[in-house]
Structure 1
Amino acid sequence: MYIPQYFNESGPILLVDDTPDNLRLLSKILESQGFKVRKTVSGKMAIQAAQIEPPDLILLDINMPEINGYEVCRQLKSQEKTASIPIIFISALDQAIDKVKAFDLGGADYITKPFQEAEVLARVTHQLIIHHQQRQLKTQNQKLQQEIKQRLQVEANLKKIQRVFEEKVVELTNQLQRSLELVEQMQLITAKVHDSFAEPNIWQLVVQELARSLELDGCYLTMCNPEFDNCTITHQYLDCQDSKSCNVIESLINSPKFYHQLPPADVTQFCCWEPNSIQEWECHHTILIYSIFATHGIFGNLWLLKRNAEMFSELEIRLVKQVLYHCALVLRQYQIYQTTAVVR
């Protein structure tokens, strides 16, 4: 009889029979075909042996003392570790076998005594083939489930990446649109500054247009003496009637100590933190201070006020610098014009 080659590498077959002669005969038949065989003479020992090292197949005698084959089968099928092991029942030809009970308990087949070698090998081989195929199917199914899980994870990651990418595209598009708008507004403000040649009107125009273009809560121009002990607001534009914002700016403007703590830079940006109603600190304002220099030193400061912790972008800071640069050009032209007019 042909026996598949992979059976030589499979697990053992457990023989359970209280008659030693039967065990020797079955062992001889199976071992002659290369099967690995383990033997036990009691149901209790069979249960323990199957738990310690589960076999690929069990040949189980029905009529045994202490624990019969039916009870052994029931206990083995109730344990997760041994539930999938196929069981072939063994009974004498003259014994009544309850085939329905055997199959209900999970039995896969049965062999009658006296043993016929061809029948034993045929039934054992058939059950081992089925068991091997089921194990292969289980392994393939587990592998398939793992692949499905991995693919689902990859798809979820791809969707997440796509969502982040789309959000980033929207964000960058909005930033680009905002940048184009700011550049256009800078050009408009610059044009208005050059059109406003009368000196008293230029600074009010600047604070007003910057506040509107940058969507500020407020914009202030302050003039200071060199010691910063006498600073006043000369021009201002408020987008909202927030007395707290005004008080914050005024308290800082009138504090010489604050000016001396500023870093030596023409642009300074910081947040103004205040306690809220539940005594937690939060940023109520972001303030940008741009120092305006004249020949003798700092001429004054331009204060730009945003609500909450929204920081001024580099583009917005460049816009302020550009506007003030053109404002300086206009003022210089105005001074030259005034000097020329006096000479004439």
Structure 2
Amino acid sequence: MTQVLVLGGTGWLSGRIARRWRDAGADVTCLARGARPAPEGTTPLAGDRDDPHVFDDLRDRKWDEVVDISSRADHAAAAVDALGDRAEHWTYVSSMSVYSDDVTDRLDESGARHAPAQPGDEYDYAAQKVAAEDAVITLAERAFIVRPGLIVGAGDPSDRFGYWATAFARAGVEPVLVPELAGRSAQVIDVDDLAAFLTAGLRHGIVNAIGDVHPLVELLSGIRAAAGHTGELLEASDEWLEAHGVQYWMGERSLPLWLPADMPGFMRRDNSAYRAAGGSFRPLETTIRAVLDDERARGLERERRAGLRRDDELALIDRLTSS
């Protein structure tokens, strides 16, 4: 029986990976802090990766596959150091944030990366992922590094893609505030497509895992149609939004998927290696419908990690239309 160790296995993506390996007949162990349950049918093992002895109970086993999605380089390096010689294959889920070039159109896996994080550096997500990749690359032909872009789907804890389903659903016949749309693109991958790719076989090398490029206006139009929104789309310029304290991309008081104009390549990466390796995409409409159903189930007025509250959005709309 295939022996799989998922470092995590209780989160949004890692839980799906653990379940898919389980469903494929593997013996799956999930090493996690224990705050959330591991998927049924897997073996949970409680452990804090800040603990230098966290891997002690795993060193005496051989692993056909180890999967790590950590965004801390010290955690990734410690896992490789402890278990690298016990693993036949190692999958690391990195990020396309590792690329330092956000301008080039259709950048592939050869693109230059940011400098890796060094011990003692202030936390920086991209630099941490680069340093984690460097640790995994030492496993040479046993390593597989996947660089997803924006991962979307039901249950997304970042609330980025889901914000737009909420924004259109709650507005109804009223207006929705959007950034300037001309010339902007969006590129996403459904979490279940990514999980399927990560568990379909033991691949090697480095792959950008991201969907096809869509004009942002078309993506938002698809979400809007699914939500039944019939109100007006009110576009605000980058300068106006920045002046009124609205953030790019993510976080509190943001407009998700909106990026600075000097980052045209960030959502236009090359995905040909993913396709060549057997990666597939469900219809975007299927993802949109699943996200919309999930947002309605979780509550359109709930607290969110990204986007605008409706009262704040309406206040901004009032300022925009009265200026």
User: Which structure has the larger Rg?
Assistant: 1
Q: Select the structure with the greater relative contact order (CA < 8 A; seq sep ≥ 6).
A: 2
Q: Does TM, scored on the shorter chain, surpass 0.5? A: no
State the TM-score, normalizing by the size of structure 2.
Answer: 0.29
